[in-house]
Amino acid sequence: MKRPRLIILVIILLLFSFGITGGRFSFHGKPAGVYLLKGAERHLFELKDHLKLADYERLIVRIEFEALYERWRSKDEAADSNPYLKYSWDKKSGSGYLINFFPDGSRFLVCLGHFRDTDNNPVHGIFVGGGLPGTHYENAALKTPETGVAYSDARGWHHLWGSTAETLSSAAATAGQVNPGSWEFVGSEILFSSQYQLALKSSHLVRLGQQQLRVDRYFNYHAGNRFFSLANRLTNPGSLPLTYHYTYGDGPWRPNAGTPDSKVKQDSEVQFDLTNNYYIGLSDYKYSPDLEKTAAGNLANFLSWQGGALPSSGYLTGKPVTTLTVKGKAPLKDGRSREIMLQWQARTLLPGQSEIIMLTIGMADNDLQVNIPRKPAVAIDPAELRFLLSR
């Protein structure tokens, strides 16, 4: 018997036995799979065709159609399918990856916790960077475009974001900035996973001078998107007020990386205006008044900080900086020296107080009409955010 037929038979038997036990059926629309959950409202079990965040803790077993049938599909059949993802996450080491598969054959890759920081310490937790396990690569050699956050199409892999350069420091500390490899890794967990969504959490304690800061990080991704949300909840667990500085910096390893507007050439470090701006990105777009003469396949990334505590300053820079002097700004020689950096300076938390820093990270859309990249709609569902932050 062929495997698809065997799977269908197992599902039929499951449905028959389920009806005998008096379980509850919750089927709505096109099924994503078959999900067996612990019952609610006087039912011993519940059988559903879709899984939501609120259902995840009741999940017993699942059969998901998209990933299951992918191995039997032809290319023509796959073209009519939905985007879906596969992932791997090691709770103990706080590292993993996800790959989103699009119907047109393109892919979106995010690697987490697979790199060493600038102090050469291994990083554990939800930190963007590193590559896939060696057995996953299409070629034997690890290549930069297949690391960090990347996008693959018919031309190959394209690097969007590298290994994140995050730091925390205290206003009272003299030891300087604390890089992610020195953040104490408390643990991690999978908050939700299916072929269409992945939500992760990692927890950390950071020593800032004589005080500690707790950082809980939440990763949320929906299949079909080329971006993900990263929420940081920073908590002062001590008995005294704590003032911290936080920086987030990253940039693509692309030789032609330019500025968010492809018509502008930025040659030196610059501070960008945060008054009415909530995102920035780097592109390798080739601008031309005649769109027909413009090379196709232009790419751009974006970083958005709307929601939660807003940054106090932001820079396009060649190296981590605290402030930029009027004279002697470092030149941006090529794409390898361009990095977007955000700073949250002098943020004070009272004992027991928490605050949230929200980031959305990914790939910009390609707007062919005006030939410049566009940030996609990235608003996170308030109900999903409440679910994540309650864990």
If phi > 0 it is left, if psi is from -120 to 50 it is alpha, else beta; for residue 214 that is: beta
Are 27 and 168 found together in one domain? no
Last residue in a domain, options 19, 47, 71: 71
- As a whole number, mean pLDDT of residues 189-207 equals 96
Q: What's the domain range around 41?
A: 3-71
Q: Which residue has the higher pLDDT, 372 or 115?
A: 115
Are 280 and 301 found together in one domain? yes
Number of domains in the chain: 2
Cα torsion for 140, 144, 147, 148, to the nearest 10°? 170
Are 130 and 269 found together in one domain? yes
Is residue 77, in this structure, part of any structural domain at all?
A: no
pLDDT beyond 60 at 346? yes
Are 134 and 59 found together in one domain? no
Is residue 78, in this structure, part of any structural domain at all?
A: no
Tell if the pTM clears 0.75, that is, is over it.
yes
Tokens representing residue 75 in the block: 């290319």
Last residue in a domain, options 48, 71, 94: 71
pLDDT beyond 80 at 28? no
Q: What is the mean pLDDT of the chain?
A: 79
At 313, which CATH number?
2.70.98
Confidence of residue 109 (pLDDT cuts 50, 70, 90): very high
- As a whole number, mean pLDDT of residues 135-143 equals 51
Are 104 and 33 found together in one domain? no
Last residue in a domain, options 71, 100, 118: 71
- Which among 112, 125, 110 has a CA at the least distance from the CA of 188? 125
318 neighbors 336 (Cβ within 8 angstroms): no
- As a whole number, mean pLDDT of residues 120-140 equals 75
Identify the pLDDT of residue 79: 45
pLDDT by residue (tens digit) across 40-95? Answer: 766 778 888 777 666 767 888 877 776 555 545 444 444 447 899 989 999 999 99
Are 89 and 63 found together in one domain? no
Are 64 and 91 found together in one domain? no
Is residue 79, in this structure, part of any structural domain at all?
A: no
Is residue 356, in this structure, part of any structural domain at all?
A: yes
pLDDT beyond 60 at 157? yes
Are 66 and 179 found together in one domain? no
Identify the pLDDT of residue 60: 85
> Rounded to whole angstroms, how far apart are CA atoms 200 and 322?
31
> Rounded to whole angstroms, how far apart are CA atoms 95 and 317?
28
Q: Is residue 265 classed exposed, middle or buried when 0-12, 13-18 and 19+ CB atoms within 10 A define those classes?
A: exposed
- The rounded Cα 201 to chain-centroid distance in angstroms is 12
